[in-house]
Amino acid sequence: MRSNEQVLEELRQKISQAEHPRELVVDVMLALQEHYGYLSDQAVEQTASLLGMTLLEVEELATFYDFIYRQPVGRFVIRVCDSVVCWLEGGEPLAKYLQGKLGIPMGGTSPDGLFTLLPVCCIGYCDMAPAMLVNNRVYGNLTPERIDQILEELRGAHGAGKSQEQ
φ, ψ for residue 103, nearest 5 deg: 70, 30
Strands (E), the chain: 76-81, 115-120, 132-134, 137-139
Give domain limits for the chain. 4-64, 76-165
Return the CATH architecture of domain 76-165. 3-Layer(aba) Sandwich (3.40)
Condensed to tens digits (0 to 9), the pLDDT of residues 11-48 reads 999 999 999 999 999 999 999 999 999 999 999 999 99
Between the alpha carbon of residue 134 and those of residues 39, 45, 55, 148, the distances in Å are 19, 28, 30, 14
Condensed to tens digits (0 to 9), the pLDDT of residues 64-123 reads 998 999 999 999 999 999 999 999 999 999 999 999 999 999 999 999 999 999 999 999
pTM for the whole thing? Answer: 0.82
Write the DSSP string, 26-51.
HHHHHHHHHHHSS--HHHHHHHHHHH
Residue 161 has pLDDT above 70, yes or no: no
pLDDT given for residue 158 in this prediction: 78
